[in-house]
A and B are shown apart, each in its own frame.
Chain A
Amino acid sequence: MSQLVFDPSKVMDIDYTQRTDYLDGLAAIKAAHKVLKEITYTPSLPDKGYTNRTLYVNVGSLEITEKPVTQQMKDVFIGGRGFGLYHLWNAVKPTTRWNDPENEIIISPGPVAGMTQYAGTGKSLVVSLSPQTDIPIDSNVGGFYGPLLKFSGFDGLELQGKSDKDIILFIDGVKGIIRIEEAPKDPVDSHVLAEVLTHMYAENEKDLPNISVVSTGAAAEHSLIGMLNFSFYDRRRKCVRFKQAGRGGIGTVFRDKRIRALVVRGPKVAGDLNHPADPETIAKTGIKFHKEMRENDGTQCMMRRNGTAHIVEIMDAYDLLPVHNFQYGSHPDVHKIDSSYWQQRCTQHTVDGCWYGCSMACAKGADGLVLKTGPYKGDMVTVDGPEYENAAGLGSNCGVFDPDYLLELNFYCDTYGICTITYGTLTAFVMECYQRGILNQERTGGLEMTWGNAEADLEMMHQMARGEGFGKIAGLGVKKMKEYFIKQGWGDPQLINDIGMENKGLEYSQYMSKESLAQQGGYALTNKGPQHDEAWLIFMDMVNKQLPTFEDKAEALYYFPLFRTWFGLNGFCKLPWNDVVPADNSSQPEAHKVPEHVQNYVDLFSATTGIKISKEDLIIQSAKVYNFQRVFNIRMGKGLRLHDAAPYRSLGPVTKEEYESRAERYDQQIITEMDLDPAGKTTEEKMAMHRQWRTERFSKLMDSVYTRRGWTLDGVPTLARLKELGLDAFPEVVEVVKQHL
C-alpha cells in the first residue's frame, strides 16, 4: 500500500486571471430580451426545511402557478427525486414520450438541501422522461440553483410545455418576480451563456454569488445525450463554474422545450435559512464532521487535494479501471492521468466546494487551459475536474492518456451540454467498433477512431455540437447506434450487442463489473439504468469476499440502493458518507456502512424537519420512492425482468483477447466454480463455458434480488410490498401492478 503524498512545490504555477472574457456582447444580448410574461409573488424561506409550495411553469402557454406541498407528498416522497417522480407521474401518460409537451423537467433540492453546517448539502435532483430510455431519469447535481430556488420560496420547479421561441425563466427570490423572457441573441454554449447571464441578472458585483444559471449547450440540440449545467459563482477566481445533471439526456429535453436557461436570484446565503427544528444538533454534527475531515482526509482519500480522481490509480491497481471499452482493467500509461498529475495541474491554493460549508471541497478546478480545437480554439478557460468518471470515461476507456486533451474533452462536454460518462462510454464503443472493422473511415466520414486518437475524438464531439456527420449518429447513444449499425449490416449483431455497454438505453458508468457479480446487479438491476449511484459493491464482493452467497449479494443490492436513494430525496451529496471515515470506524460493527455517518444523517434529517427517524426509517423512506419508481417504469412499458438484461461485456469476456488477458483467473474458475476441466479446451470453448456459467448466475442473482426486494420473479413489486410501504394509497399505482401479477 502506498499513499500519495502532496508536494506543494510541484503544483503548476498557472495565472488564472488571464482567462478569456465573454462579456463584450452583454448589453446587446440584454437589449434583445423581451418580456413574455411576468408575475409577482411573495418570497418565503423554508420552515423546517420545506417552503411548502412548488412552482409550475408551462413554457408553451406561459402559465405560472404555485402548487401546495401536501403532507402526503412529504410523508411518502420526502423531496428531491421523490417530488420529481410524483410530479412527473401526474404530468404524463403511459404513451408520453420525451419530446411530447406534457413531459416535464422537475428540479427539487429536498428538505435538508441548503444547510451550510455539514458537508455535501447543496444537491438537487432533476427528473424527466429520458430520450435515451423512455422511462424516468433522475440525475443529481450540485451548484447553487437548487438551494437558491428553495430560499426563493419553492421546494421544486416543474417545467412543462414547449415554447416556439428561445426563452429564459428568471426567478427573483428577493424581489418576488417570476419572468419568462424571449432570448433571441443569447449565446448557446454554457461557459459563455452562464457567464453572461450571471452578470446580466446580478444587481452588482456583490450579488454575483446569489445568481445561479441552469443551461446546456449546442450538442443538446442535436443529440439525445444532452445534460444540464448548474452554475455556481467562484468568488476567488471571479468566474462561473458548473456541476452537471448529466445522465439520461435531460439537456435534450430542455432544448426541445426551447428553454435557453433558468436563472435564479436568491437571497444572500446564511446558516439558518432552512429554519431547522433543532439548529444545535445540526451545528454539533457539522463541527464533528469538519474536525474529522481536517484530521483524517490527508491520510485517507485526500478529497480536498484530488477530488474523486484519487481513485484512478486505485482502480488501475485493482484491475477495475475501464480500458478500451471495458475490455481490460489497467493500462501502463495510467500514471499520466492519475491523481499525482491532477494535484499538480489543478489549482490548490483555494478551497473548491460546490456549495457553502462543504469541508470536503472536492470540486477541483484546472485553470489556464488554452484550447487547441473547436469554436473556442485559442481561448483560455477554467475547467472543472476531471472527476474520476471523466478521467476514466474520456481517458482510459478510450485510450486517451494525454491530460491536456482529456481536459479539453472535459471542457467541450461541459460547454456543449454533453454527459461526460455517456460520451466516454459511447466513444469507447465507437473505437472498439473501429478496431473490429464494424466501422471504418468511410462509415465515420473520415474520422479515424483509433484508440487514443484524441483529435478525432474531439472532432466527433464538434460534429455532435454542429449536428453533422458521424457525430450526429454517435449522439444517438450506444443503444440506438447498435440498432443502426446492425440495420446497416456493418457487423455481427451478437458482437455489436455484446460490446455496446448500455442497459435500458443508458450507457454504463466507468467501473469494470466483469469480475463482480454483485456489481453486475448493481448496474443492471437499477431503476434508471447503469449508474454507480445505486450500489458500488466491487470491493465488498470481488476484493473483500464479503458477499459469498446469492442471498448476501441480494441483501447488499437491497440495502445500498435504498440507502443511496435517500441522499437524493434530501439534497445530500454521497461523497461525505464514505470518502472520509471517523478514526475509530474500523472498530465499529459493519464498518463498511460507516455507522457514525449513517447516524449523522439520521440526526440531520430529524433536526431539520423535526420528524424523528431511525436508521431503519431512513431505508423505509427510500423504499417507498424506489418502488414507486419501479412501478412508474412498468407504467411506461418497461421495468420488467427483460429490461434489466445486461450486455455480456459487463458479465464476462466477449473476445479471445479479453479471455487470454485473464486466462489464469478464468481457467481456475472453470475448475473451482464450474467443477469442469479446462485442459485441452480451446479458448473459444472455454469462453463458451464461461458465457453459460456467467449468464446463468446473473439470472440466479436476479431471482434473489427480486425476492429480497419484495418483487415477483418478473421484477414487479407485489401488492403486499406496496401495502407494506403505504403505496396502496395510490389506486393508479396498484392498477399498474395488477396488470402484471
Chain B
Amino acid sequence: MIVVNEEPLAWHPGMTVRDVLRARNYRFPMLVIHVNDALIQKTDYDTTSIPDGAVVKVIHLISGG
C-alpha cells in the first residue's frame, strides 16, 4: 500500500510514477511529483519505481480559471 495525496492506493511490484497517474486518472499535464520527498522529473515518470509504503505527492498546479 502507498499513500497518494493523503489517500491509500494499492501497491504492486514494479509500480512506476506513470502507473500511479493512470490509477488515479491524473490527466493534468502540469504536475509536481515527489516520492518520499524526492522530486521526480517528468522525463522519469515511466522509469521511476515506487517502493511499497511510499508517500507520493502529486501537486497539480493551479491553471484553470
Contact = CB atoms under 8 A, between A and B. Distances in A.
A574 B65 contact: yes
Contact of A313 (B18, B27, B30, B45): B27
Contacts of A548: 6
Contacts of A539: 28, 60-64
B59 A591 contact: yes
Given A3-B29, A587-B39, A591-B59, A533 B65 contact: yes
Interface in A530-576: 532-533, 536-540, 543-546, 548, 574
B59 A536 contact: no
B10 to A, nearest CB: 16
Contact of A1 (B21, B57, B61, B63): B21
Contact of B65 (A299, A536, A545, A587): A536
A1 B60 contact: no
Given A586-B32, A587-B39, A591-B32, A540 B25 contact: no
A501 to B, nearest CB: 17
A511 interface: yes
Contact of A317 (B25, B45, B57): B25
A511 B64 CA distance: 9
Nearest to B21: A1
Bin chain A's interface residue count.
35 or more
B59 A1 contact: no
Interface in B37-55: 39, 41-42, 45
A592 interface: yes
A311 interface: yes
B21 A545 contact: no
B62 A578 contact: yes
Contact of A540 (B7, B33, B62): B62
Contact of B29 (A300, A587, A592): A300
A354 to B, nearest CB: 17
Contacts, number: 85
A601 to B, nearest CB: 15
B63 A579 contact: yes
Contacts of B28: 1, 314, 318, 539
Given A1-B18, A543-B5, A587-B39, A301 B62 contact: no
Interface string B1-30: 000011100000000001001100111111
> Which of B7, B18, B64 gathers most chain A CB within 10 Å?
B64
Contacts of B59: 544, 546, 591-592
B64 A532 contact: yes
A262 B5 CA distance: 51
Interface in A570-621: 574, 578-579, 581, 585-587, 591-592, 594
Contacts of A532: 64-65
B5 A301 contact: no
Nearest to B57: A544
Contacts of A540: 60, 62
> Which of A301, A548, A574 gathers most chain B CB within 10 Å?
A301
Nearest to A316: B27
B58 interface: yes
B29 A544 contact: no
> Which of B5, B28, B42 gathers most chain A CB within 10 Å?
B28
A739 interface: no
A533 B25 CA distance: 26
Given A1-B27, A2-B27, A299-B29, A592 B62 contact: yes
A641 B50 CA distance: 47
Contacts of A313: 27
Contacts of A537: 62
A592 B41 CA distance: 16
Given A543-B5, A546-B59, A536 B64 contact: yes
Bin chain B's interface residue count.
20 to 34
Interface in A120-139: none
A543 B61 CA distance: 10
Contact of A543 (B30, B41, B60, B65): B60
A546 B57 CA distance: 10
B65 A317 contact: no
A514 B63 CA distance: 19
A544 B25 contact: no
> Which of B22, B25, B58, B63 gathers most chain A CB within 10 Å?
B63
B30 A1 contact: no
A356 B39 CA distance: 37
A298 to B, nearest CB: 10
Nearest to A588: B32
Contacts of B29: 1, 3, 299-301
Contacts of B7: 545
Given A1-B22, A574-B65, A544 B5 contact: yes
A545 B6 contact: yes
A578 B27 contact: no
A594 B27 contact: no
Contacts of A587: 39
A297 to B, nearest CB: 10
A103 to B, nearest CB: 29
Nearest to B45: A1
A507 to B, nearest CB: 16
A313 B62 CA distance: 16
A578 B25 contact: no
A555 B52 CA distance: 34
Contacts of B21: 1
A546 B41 CA distance: 20
B30 A301 contact: yes
A536 B22 CA distance: 24
B24 to A, nearest CB: 9
Contact of A536 (B6, B32, B42, B62): B62
A314 B32 contact: no
A485 to B, nearest CB: 31
Interface in A498-516: 511
A553 to B, nearest CB: 14
A311 B64 contact: yes
A536 B27 CA distance: 18
A578 B45 CA distance: 22
A2 B31 CA distance: 13
Contacts of A299: 29, 42
Nearest to B4: A545
Contacts of B61: 539, 578, 581, 585, 591-592, 594
13 contacts: A1-B27, A301-B29, A314-B27, A315-B64, A317-B27, A532-B64, A540-B62, A543-B26, A545-B7, A548-B6, A586-B33, A586-B39, A591-B59
Given A1-B27, A317-B27, A318-B27, 12 more contacts: A1-B21, A1-B31, A300-B29, A301-B30, A314-B28, A315-B64, A317-B25, A540-B60, A579-B63, A586-B41, A591-B32, A594-B61
Closest 6 CB pairs of A and B: A536-B65, A539-B60, A586-B32, A1-B21, A532-B65, A545-B6
Interface of B: 5-7, 18, 21-22, 25-33, 39, 41-42, 45, 57-65
